A and B are shown apart, each in its own frame.
Chain A
Amino acid sequence: MNTNHLTDIEIQQYCFEKESCESRIVNHIELCRTCKERAASYELISSEIKNIQSPVFDFNLAGLVLSRIPQQKSKFSFNIFLVCFAACVPVAALGVPLFFLQEYITNVFTAILPPLYYMIAVLALTVVIFQVIEMYMHFHNKMSRLELY
């Protein structure tokens, strides 16, 4: 009977790294009852770990994650079509009457004094600037709310 037993490393190598295990170790285990038993205990531990029931989440992980991920606009081409259509409608709505009433409208504008022109232009520009600032702040606020981190 062999009294020089294998080390734990060698026994684990035999159990879990069979392809790189030295033939000396394999031969010893075949002949030595003690080492064979120790190897068997490791193999049993391994098989028992395999048999342990896998843990599962008790909630719908995919549902939770997806509900917090912002929806992406996947139909990009359709959106472009919508934007173009939405832009064309007011252009047509303004363009058609302008075309037919161009003489009358020209007369209306030529009758207004130049300082009044500038006042209207400045007023319109101010309103536009305020609108743009408001839109930007609104957009920024929305984006920060959507930001996940």
Chain B
Amino acid sequence: MTDQYQVEKVLQGDRDAFELVIKNTEGLVAQILFKMINNTEDRKDIAQDIYFKVYKNLASFKFQSKLSTWIARIAYNTCLNFLEMKKPGLIHTISIEDNSHIESLEKIIRTSTPAREAENFIFQKELSKILQCEIEKLSPVYKTLLTLFHKEELTYAEISEITELPEGTVKNYLFRARKTLRENLLIQYKKEDL
């Protein structure tokens, strides 16, 4: 069923068609919500709010993108507004990493054999668990971008459309997020090892 057909059906008042839209897109919306909002009750309210907005504004959808991308954009903006309302400035906490720290760590990895061994070891030892933990520590925007790119396999253009960030910024944020994640994983391992 094409997006156009689905939208037309919903606009004609077909509730089953809207239910199908929700079912088809709630996975992507959940990814964004779970990465950006921690409180379960808030997530429940925001999820409903997102689809009310979708329903209310569906007539203004111009088919310039996929329907799922448009809904994801509404989800992302709704989460951002919520975070801004709750804690102004929270979403802009993407800091530029301390490069000297990263460089020194890379130096250790490059030069010392134990560090290299540690690096190898960490990716074998309960990596998934540690990784999830470390992802949770990242900023909401980083978490969302990583999920959209690696989990949902969206393109830079699609992520750019959802987040309303330029493609270059998306790439840059993703680069920083992966780098931070990798470094944090190594630090985490070193802590556990001590």
Binding site for B on A (CB under 8 A): 5, 8-9, 12, 16, 34, 37-38, 41-42, 44-46, 48-52, 54-59, 61-62, 64-66, 68-69, 71-74, 148-149
For the complex, would chain B's binding face be called helix, strand, loop or mixed by DSSP majority? helix
- Indicate if the CB atoms of B128 and A52 lie closer than 8 Å: yes
B117 → A minimal CB distance (Å): 11
- Indicate if the CB atoms of A54 and B31 lie closer than 8 Å: yes
Residues in B with CB closer than 8 Å to A50 are 150-151
Which single member of B31, B106, B109, B110 contacts A55 (CB below 8 Å)?
A: B31
Query: Known interface pairs A54-B27, A61-B47. Does A74 touch B14 (Cβ–Cβ under 8 Å)?
Result: yes
Residues in A with CB closer than 8 Å to B179 are 8, 12
5 tightest A-B CB contacts, nearest first: A72-B13, A55-B34, A49-B150, A62-B22, A74-B13
- Indicate if the CB atoms of B127 and A12 lie closer than 8 Å: no
Q: Which residue of chain A lies nearest to B51 when distances are taken between CB atoms in the complex?
A: A65
Query: Known interface pairs A46-B150, A54-B27. Does A69 touch B15 (Cβ–Cβ under 8 Å)?
Result: yes
Residues in B with CB closer than 8 Å to A37 are 116, 119-120
- Cα–Cα distance between A34 and B119 once the two chains are bound (Å): 11
- Indicate if the CB atoms of B132 and A52 lie closer than 8 Å: yes
Binding site for A on B (CB under 8 A): 12-15, 18-19, 22-23, 26-27, 30-31, 33-34, 40, 43-44, 47-48, 51-52, 55-56, 102, 106, 109-110, 116, 119-120, 123, 127-128, 131-132, 135, 146-147, 149-151, 174-175, 178-179, 181-182, 185
Query: Known interface pairs A54-B31, A149-B56. Does A44 touch B127 (Cβ–Cβ under 8 Å)?
Result: yes
B44 → A minimal CB distance (Å): 6
- Cα–Cα distance between A45 and B179 once the two chains are bound (Å): 10
- Indicate if the CB atoms of B34 and A45 lie closer than 8 Å: no
Residues in A with CB closer than 8 Å to B13 are 72-74
